[in-house]
Structures are given as C-alpha cells and as structure tokens.
Amino acid sequence: MLAALDKYRHAFLVGLQSGLVYRWNFAVRSVFSFIHLAYAFILWGAAFAGQSAIGGFDLRQTLTYFITMLVLQFFISAFNEDYQISEDIRNGLINQFLLKPINYFLYRISVFAAARLVSGLLALIPFVLLLPFLWKYLSFPVDGWRYLLAVPALAMAALIQFTIAYCFGMLSFWFLEIQSFIILSFAIETMLGGQVFPLDLMPPLLYQISKYLPYYYQMYFPTAIITGRLDQATALSGLLLQAVWLVALLGLAELLWRRGLRRHTAVGG
C-alpha cells in the first residue's frame, strides 16, 4: 500500500520541479490577473457610487470576493491540464502508462497538486506586495464555521476542476483538435463559476439553476463561503451537492478513459 503511494509521491516531486520550470509563465499570469483586478475595482467602484449596497453587500465585501477568488484560483484552478493530457494522448505518451502499474488519473492529479502548490505560492508574492494597498478593501466575516467548511469545499472544488479538465483532455481520443472545446468550456466556467460577477447578483431563477451545475462548485461556492455570501444551511447542503457532482464527474472521467482506450491505437514504440 505504502509502496503504491510512493509512486505518486515521486510524481508529485516531479510535478514540483516542472512547476518551478514554468515559474515565469505563472508570474506573467498572476500579473495579468492583478491587472484584471484593477478592472474589477474600477467597474465595481463606479457601480457602487451613490449607493452603499449591491445585493446586500457593500463595496469592500464585493471587492473582497474578487480578491479572494483571484488568490484561490492559483491554488485550485486547472490551467493547462487539459492540454497536457491531450498532448500525452496525441504523442502516444500514455502508452507507457498502459504497460506499467501506475494509474494515469492518479499520476496526473499528483502532478496537478504539485503545480498548484507552486503557482499558489508564487501568486502570493504579488498579493503580499500589494497588501498595503489591498488591505483597506479586505473585509472577511468572523464566523469560525466558514473556514472549517471552506476546507472540504476547496478540496472538492480543486478535484472538480481537475476532473473536468481531465474529461476534456480525454476528448483527444475522438477529436484531433480540442482547443475550441477547451476555450468554450473556459468561457462557460468563467461565467458560471462566478469569476465575472458574484452569481448571487443574477436574477433569482438563474441563480437557483446555477446551483445545480458543476461550475458553481468550481470557484463560486468556496469563495462565497469564505466571503460571507452563503449561510450555514446553504453551505452544508451545497457540500452535499458538490460531492454528488464530484462523484459523477469521476465516473464520467473513468468512462471516457475506458471508451477512449478502446479506440486508441499505440503507434510506434
């Protein structure tokens, strides 16, 4: 059992190294994200002029939502995992996983965990540098339960993000070019994950519908727990739905893997 885990520990360590190789890509990405944060500050700052609350939250709480989401994103989002998996399939790199006693999904998720650890810590650098400026906009609720529930919510959010990316990568078994699929899903995730605006500001019916979609649990749900946009009962029932989505997506990933391998022909050596 321990020996089995050891394989993935090595995968994790390799992931850390390759994460560090791409440190400049992450640095560039975090600079873009903070410029995007300036956009959110200007837009919402202007929207709040002349009123103290939007959807029951003041300007500081709203900006805290965007700042929190931005930082969390570097810890839990799948960035280019779908491309990497797609490349593995197209280049025939997965062939070696078929021959060795290592599970491709677990291998990939170990690398993903390592990469997010690196990107998350790197994103903290600009955040800490900007903290003297951001400080006055931060306003977190004080309820202890929020931080307790945020832990499983964040863990499952990361797994959901990864599994969705994994499923998109699996499409390479059927399609030559999956870039358009990925960008389309990225657009859907960006909006329904709450990165464009807090989902609770949508009309109530749309907000209710979004709650039953997996995207809600990718970013919005953990962020909303931490920044006080959900009450305890909603957070608890949300965790249940999040778990259901996670299991469903894991099932889909396994199904696509099995079906995909049936179509797959290993060429060359």
Partner 1 sequence: MSFLNYLRVWLACARYSTVRTMMFRFDFIMWSLVELFWMTVNILLVSVIYRHTREIAGWTQYQMLLLVGTSMIMQRLMMGLFWSNLFELGRNIRTGQFDFFLAQPGNPLFMVSTRKLDLDGLLNVLVAVSVVAYSAHQLGLHPGFGDIVTYILLILCGLIIEYGTLLLIVSLTFWIVGSQGIEGSYFTLFEFSRLPKEAFRGASNVIFVWLLPVVLVSNVPSKSIMHGVDARYVLWLLGVTLLWLLIGTTVFRRGLRRYASASS
Residues that bind partner 1 (CB under 8 A): 24-25, 28-29, 32, 35-36, 38-39, 42-43, 45-51, 54-55, 177, 180-181, 183-184, 187-188, 190-191, 196-197, 201-203
Question: In the complex, what is the shortest distance from the CB of residue 184 to partner 1, in angstroms, rounded to a whole number?
Answer: 5
Q: Which is nearer to partner 1, 148 or 187 (CB)?
A: 187
CB of 39 to partner 1, least distance (A): 5
Those residues with Cβ within 8 angstroms of residue 20's Cβ, 6 or more apart along the chain or in another chain: 118
| Long-range contacts, stretch 122-130, CB < 8 angstroms, 24+ apart | 122/23, 122/26, 122/27, 122/30, 122/74, 123/26, 123/30, 123/33, 123/70, 123/71, 123/73, 123/74, 123/75, 124/71, 125/30, 126/30, 126/31, 126/34, 127/71, 130/34
| Cα-based torsion angle of the residue sequence 38, 44, 45, 49 in order, rounded to the nearest 10 degrees | 170
Alpha helices for the chain (secondary structure H) = 2-21, 23-48, 59-76, 81-91, 95-99, 104-134, 144-170, 179-192, 204-211, 220-226, 232-263
**CB nearer to partner 1: pick between 29 and 264:** 29
As measured in angstroms, the least distance from the Cβ of 48 to partner 1 is 8
Cβ at position 137, least distance to partner 1 in Å? 14
Q: Which is nearer to partner 1, 35 or 267 (CB)?
A: 35
Smaller CB separation from partner 1, 97 or 186: 186
CB closer to partner 1, 39 vs 145 = 39
Shortest reach from residue 46's CB to partner 1, in Å = 4
